[in-house]
Amino acid sequence: MMNSIFNIDISKIPEQLTYNASQPMIFNSGVFLWLFLVFVFVYMLLGKKTTLRLLFVTAFSYYFYYKSSGIYFFLLAVVTISDFLIAKAIYKVQQKHDEMGNFRNNKGKLLLTLSLLIDLGLLGYFKYTNFFGTLFANITGNNFEMLDIFLPVGISFFTFQSLSYIIDVYRGTLKPLNNILDYAFYVSFFPQLVAGPIVRARDFIPQIRKPLEITKEMFGTGVFFIVGGLFKKAVISDYISINFVERVFEQPSLYSGFENLMGAYGYTLQIYCDFSGYSDMAIGIALLLGFKFPINFNAPYKSSSITEFWHRWHISLSSWLKDYLYISLGGNRKGKIRQYINLMITMLLGGLWHGASFNFVIWGGFHGILLIIDKIWKQICPKLSSVQSKHDSKKPSKFISFIGGIVTFHIVCLAWIFFRCDSFDAAVSMIWQIFSHFQPQVAPQWISGYWAVASFIVLGYLLHFMPQRMSEFTKQMVIKIPLFLQTLLIVIVIYIVIQIKTSDVLPFIYFQF
């Protein structure tokens, strides 16, 4: 019934409008596309009635989250109300007279700690109870019975977003909101609610009560991002995942090293197209509603060093970890050794943020080691570094950047194996197959047997490595064409999605985080 995006059985509409754990609300589902058309119609009618419009969007956002996580939408309210009140209390404490400085700072820290306990407590319970329970049991030699705990979709995203608001208020870089509706709108805004990008309060809050204005450029850019994101997710990512990548990662020992390597290349593209596709659609939908989000991905596989990769990959998370964790730990202000320790702690916790598994910790730790090596390498051999220093205006040679790009890409591919595999042993098995049973002679058979998968992998990487000026030219073309052609472009991409899709709509990978 749901094999195509628009094929919705009318008799099942009540069922489709209620929560279904097997069919969460996602941007490339038929239910969302129909609901979004109704939503936009009402949204435009309320254009000049700011408070009613904000109330309507907030209510829709809560419904959107209900369709993703059921009754657990109440967690949004818990985080929203608690952090709204705590932020106001922190600000009042900070306004007290200077002679009460010590008292003020201590009380402010207590209030901040309370917010951290609530937000991280919810995140810890729902996401890490079984992980740490099992870990403790293994250390002590006891048994731990896994608890049946539901993981609400995107809980890591909206808790981090709310925490950034609280920390900014505590640091004195942001004044708290006086209207709880505005804060509820900020925390729950549905385009980025369940999988980011993590939007900072200082970037988003000033836009909330501005008069609604959607320029031709905003609309065209929104269409460009939505079409591109939908194509990356529903065409490239889903197709190569269903038809090849999942099979290899489920049983890597059944495939040759060459096929395992193609699986690693495929997953490297899949996770980028999946996650950046969601981010692009979120950015595009927000633009159609009159709001601007920062870019979350900037061609990360073009990076010529691991440091540059983290400047381009999941920018909202990497900058969040830098500003609120790495700097809070001391950053690079307390010597090189302490800087490396802070960097490792940040990446280990960043890995754990992605999921309650040692494989994610290993993935984060691996990137932490690589970042430390990268910093040491730049100090020892600055002329051979693929990324120039802040104090060096001389750009690295194209050859060094090219070699750095190849090395960085394959290191990232290697790390993704640990990220994707269900266990450490499975990851090691896959790597072992690649290096010990490569069997390049199977390449012709693989290309003939998986010609469609191979074509989409090549197409995906060609689009990714396309020069920035070509991407910008394409965006400007979409902006300039008439509304009719923009609409036709969306219809064509949806038609392609319908023709290529071979199974039910797949959730976005980052929904689990």
Write the burial class of residue 408 (CB in 10 Å: 0-12 exposed, 13-18 middle, 19+ buried): buried
Nearest 5°: phi and psi at 431? -65, -40
What is the rounded CA–CA span in Å between residue 237 and residue 231? 9
- Higher-confidence residue of 114 and 395: namely 114
H/E stretch holding 278: helix 257-288
The 10 Å CB-count burial string (b at 16+, else e) for 193-209 is bbbbbbbbbeebbeebe
- Higher-confidence residue of 23 and 275: namely 275
Same domain, 438 and 296: yes
Same domain, 449 and 371: no
pLDDT value at position 300?
A: 95
Q: Which of 164, 188, 208 is the last residue of a domain?
A: 208
What is the rounded CA–CA span in Å between residue 329 and residue 339? 9
Give 486-506 pLDDT, tens digit per residue. 888 888 887 777 666 655 555
Domain membership of residue 505 (yes or no) is yes
Q: Which of 179, 208, 237 is the last residue of a domain?
A: 208
- Higher-confidence residue of 22 and 56: namely 56
Reported confidence tier of residue 266, pLDDT bands at 50, 70, 90: very high
Q: Does the pLDDT at position 460 exceed 90?
A: yes
Domain membership of residue 403 (yes or no) is no
Same domain, 225 and 193: no
Q: Does the pLDDT at position 228 exceed 70?
A: yes
Q: Which of 173, 208, 243 is the last residue of a domain?
A: 208
Same domain, 116 and 203: yes
pLDDT value at position 3?
A: 44
pLDDT value at position 361?
A: 93
pLDDT value at position 235?
A: 87
Average pLDDT over residues 413-438: 93
Three-state DSSP class for 154? Answer: coil
Reported confidence tier of residue 2, pLDDT bands at 50, 70, 90: very low
According to DSSP, residue 5 is labeled S
- Which percentage of the chain shows pLDDT scores above 70? 87
Active site residue 97: no
pLDDT value at position 96?
A: 73
Average pLDDT over residues 14-19: 67
Same domain, 439 and 502: yes
Same domain, 73 and 112: yes
pTM of structure: 0.87
Same domain, 103 and 203: yes
Same domain, 378 and 511: no
Q: Does the pLDDT at position 41 exceed 70?
A: yes
- 331: left (phi > 0), else alpha (psi -120 to 50), else beta? left
What is the rounded CA–CA span in Å between residue 349 and residue 156? 12
Domain membership of residue 112 (yes or no) is yes
Same domain, 285 and 264: yes
Domain membership of residue 354 (yes or no) is yes
Please identify which of the residues 97, 314, 354, 437 carries the catalytic annotation: 354
Same domain, 197 and 266: no
- Higher-confidence residue of 494 and 458: namely 458
**Among the listed residues 271, 242, 222, 292, the one whose alpha carbon sits nearest the alpha carbon of residue 483:** 222
The structural domain count of the chain equals 3
Most confident listed range (23-37, 183-197, 428-442) = 428-442
Domain membership of residue 40 (yes or no) is no
Same domain, 389 and 437: no
pLDDT value at position 384?
A: 63
What is the rounded CA–CA span in Å between residue 68 and residue 363? 27
Q: Does the pLDDT at position 9 exceed 70?
A: no
Give 313-372 pLDDT, tens digit per residue. 999 999 999 999 998 888 888 888 899 999 999 999 999 988 888 899 999 999 999 999
Structural domain including 391 reads: 305-395
Average pLDDT over residues 224-231: 90
Q: Does the pLDDT at position 468 exceed 50?
A: yes
Q: Does the pLDDT at position 391 exceed 60?
A: no
Query: 30-45 and 50-69 are packed helices; what angle lies between their axes, rounded to 10 degrees?
Result: 170
pLDDT value at position 4?
A: 44
Reported confidence tier of residue 432, pLDDT bands at 50, 70, 90: very high
pLDDT value at position 463?
A: 93
Give 153-176 pLDDT, tens digit per residue. 888 888 999 999 999 999 888 899
The chain-wide mean pLDDT, for the chain, equals 85
Domain membership of residue 318 (yes or no) is yes
CB 171 within 8 A of CB 41: no
**Among the listed residues 357, 63, 385, 65, the one whose alpha carbon sits nearest the alpha carbon of residue 194:** 65
CB 482 within 8 A of CB 298: no
What is the rounded CA–CA span in Å between residue 90 and residue 167? 10
- Higher-confidence residue of 333 and 291: namely 291
Domain membership of residue 380 (yes or no) is yes
Single-letter residue type at 217? E
Q: Does the pLDDT at position 84 exceed 50?
A: yes
- Which percentage of the chain shows pLDDT scores above 90? 47
pLDDT value at position 383?
A: 66
Q: How far, in whole angstroms, is CA 1 from its chain's centroid?
A: 30
Q: Does the pLDDT at position 133 exceed 50?
A: yes
pLDDT value at position 12?
A: 61
Domain membership of residue 24 (yes or no) is no
